[in-house]
Every structure is written in C-alpha cells, then in structure tokens.
Amino acid sequence: MRIGFIGLGNMGAPMAKNLGAAGHEVTGYDTAEVAVEGVAGAGRMQDAVAGMEVIVTMLPNGGIVRTVHEAVVAAADPESLIIDCSTIDVESARAVHELAGKKGLMSLDAPVSGGTGGAAAGTLTFMVGGSQAAFAKGRPLFEIMGAKAVHCGEAGAGQAAKICNNMILGISMIGVCEAFHLADRLGLDRQAMFDVASTSSGSCWSLNTYCPAPGVGPESPADRDYKAGFAAELMLKDLDLSQTAAEKNGAATEMGRHARDIYKAFVDAGGRGKDFSAILERLGQS
Ligand code: NAD
C-alpha cells in the first residue's frame, strides 16, 4: 500500500518504520526535520497525502489534529482511508470523522496503548472507532504496528476507550504508590508488600507489571531513576481529557478528578519528564 504518515515523533517514527519494513511504500511528513529508516521524507504535507491509499496521523493534541486533518481531507484521494492514532479528546475525534465523511472519505480514530517500547516492537494495542468497512481496511496495518486491535464502535469510540483505560491507570498507579508509602511508614518491607499484594486482591498492572518501587517486581522505570517510560505530563494530559469528557457528559469521576489534581501538582513541582510512577518518590518526601 502507499501510506502517508504525518507526525514522526517518539511514537510515529517507529510505527512508520515498521510499516516500511513490512513492505509498504511509506512517505512521512513532520514539521520537525526527522529521518526514519525505510520511510521517504516529504518536504510538504501534501506530498504525504495526495495519491496515498492510507494516511496515518500521530500528533500531540486535538487542536493540531483538527488543523492537520483539514489539510489532509482537502488533498486526499477520494478512495483513501484516514487513521488518526493520536490521543485526543472525543469531540475533536468526532469532528475530524465528520470532516472526512463530508468528502466521502473513510476514517478511523485509533489511539494506542503500549508506549514507545510497544511502538518499536510492533506490539501496540489499537482501540478503534469508525465504520466496519474502515476497520476492515485498516486492520492489516494495525496487525503490523500492533499485537491487538479492538473495534470499539462508531466514530470517537476508540478515544473513549483510551481515556477510560488511562483514567484507571492513573488512579491505580496512585493507589499502588500510596500502599508502598503506607507500608514504609508502618515498617513493612516493600518486597513483602509486593509479594502479598501482587498475588492478592490488590494485584493490578500498576503493581505487577510496572511496579513503582525500585528493586521490587519486574524491571520498570523505577529501576532507571524514574526515567520515563510514560511521562507524568502525558498522564496528566490523558487525565485532563477524561475529566473534560466526564464534565461534559455528566459522569461522576471523583477519583479521576483527584488523580488529575495529584498529577498536576506533581508536574508543576518539577515532575515533568519523570515517569508517572515517580509519584512514589514524591509521597516519600511528604
Ligand atoms: P511527540 O511529541 O514525540 O511527536 C509528535 C510529532 O508531531 C513531533 O515530531 C512533532 O514535530 C510533530 N508535529 C507537530 N505538529 C505537526 C504538524 N502540524 N504537522 C506535522 N507534524 C507535526 O509525541 P509522541 O510521544 O509521539 O505522541 C504522539 C501521540 O501519541 C500523542 O497524542 C500522545 O498522547 C500519544 N501517545 C503517546 C505515548 C507515549 O508513550 N509517548 C503512548 C500512547 C499514546
């Protein structure tokens, strides 16, 4: 397939590289100067859009996605499929679907889970919103860039799934950090806390797979001085998205709001760039 890829950052570059390595003809565009192995560089965005069968975008936020998709829809071939893999607000996702639909183009919102490691290894999980036909067309590409693709429903359903998942993640990471912090204050050995909770009803991904306590559990960013991994400011971005959605749709997400406030305080106090599990360190300083 001829694929245009817009946004070759930490996530987009390895994703585009994997598509190229699988034999697709990939043309990439980014406002920054980026070279990606197996991906032809486009000097102008239009060169990564016109004549392409699929156009993938992987961009920082909803505002940028809306602007870029205006240009993409204007330059795209009538048969092309547009896939946005960025994490953005549900409203912007629906707006860009509508934009594509007006021109008769197929589109998908397909945010991902799995981080830069998953992007490099081609093991991302895609959460996808859009029509069955669009999903069927995009699926072979999800299979290259990821290990799993779930069709969650119509336009915006992928973003809805993403922000609900990450709200669980933010809340559960804080819960796990607070449990280690309390264990410390009670004189309970961290390894003992892990051994019990990771095989009891406290078990969860934030504890078992991504343990925030250095030297305990499988290797994680905690063992690398909390070098991100998944940066605290990205978690804050996602919790802002879930809270904005909750407020607009009348959902009661008290814990989500509290988690957002905790990450905001952490980022404002110098946590930017640190892994989101470094909340444990901050509690230790309290
Ligand atoms: P990034 O900042 O590394 O990459 C974004 C890229 O978009 C940059 O290279 C930037 O130059 C480019 N860009 C910005 N405006 C542009 C424009 N108008 N036209 C073309 N290119 C433009 O960010 P990232 O970590 O790759 O994240 C991308 C998206 O993926 C975000 O929505 C993020 O929330 C989401 N995400 C990130 C992770 C992660 O672990 N990094 C995990 C899951 C989802």
Residue type, 7: G
CATH class of 160-284: mainly alpha
pLDDT of residue 115: 84
pLDDT digit string (tens) for 145-187?
A: 999 999 999 999 999 999 999 999 999 999 999 999 999 999 9
| Residue with token string 């607000």 | 89
Q: Write the residue with the smallest CA distance to atom 25 of ligand 1.
A: 10
Would the CB of 186 count as within 6 Å of ligand 1?
Answer: no
pLDDT of residue 117: 85
C-alpha 92 to ligand 1 mean position (Å): 16
Q: Tell me the pLDDT band of 285, cut-offs 50, 70 and 90.
A: confident
Residue 43 has pLDDT above 90, yes or no: yes
pLDDT digit string (tens) for 129-144?
A: 999 999 999 999 999 9
Would the CB of 11 count as within 6 Å of ligand 1?
Answer: yes
- Rounded mean pLDDT, 225-254: 95
Q: Tell me the pLDDT band of 227, cut-offs 50, 70 and 90.
A: very high
Instruction: Give this prediction's pTM.
Output: 0.94
Percent of the chain exceeding pLDDT 70 equals: 100
pLDDT of residue 64: 98
Would the CB of 124 count as within 6 Å of ligand 1?
Answer: no
pLDDT of residue 15: 98
pLDDT of residue 279: 97
Q: Tell me the pLDDT band of 11, cut-offs 50, 70 and 90.
A: very high
Residue ranges covered by each domain of the chain? 2-154, 160-284
Residue 284 has pLDDT above 90, yes or no: no
Contact between residue 16 and residue 36 where contact means Cβ atoms under 8 Å apart: yes
Contact between residue 110 and residue 84 where contact means Cβ atoms under 8 Å apart: yes
- 2-154: which CATH architecture? 3-Layer(aba) Sandwich (3.40)
Which candidate, 47, 49, 59, places its Cα nearest to that of 13? 59
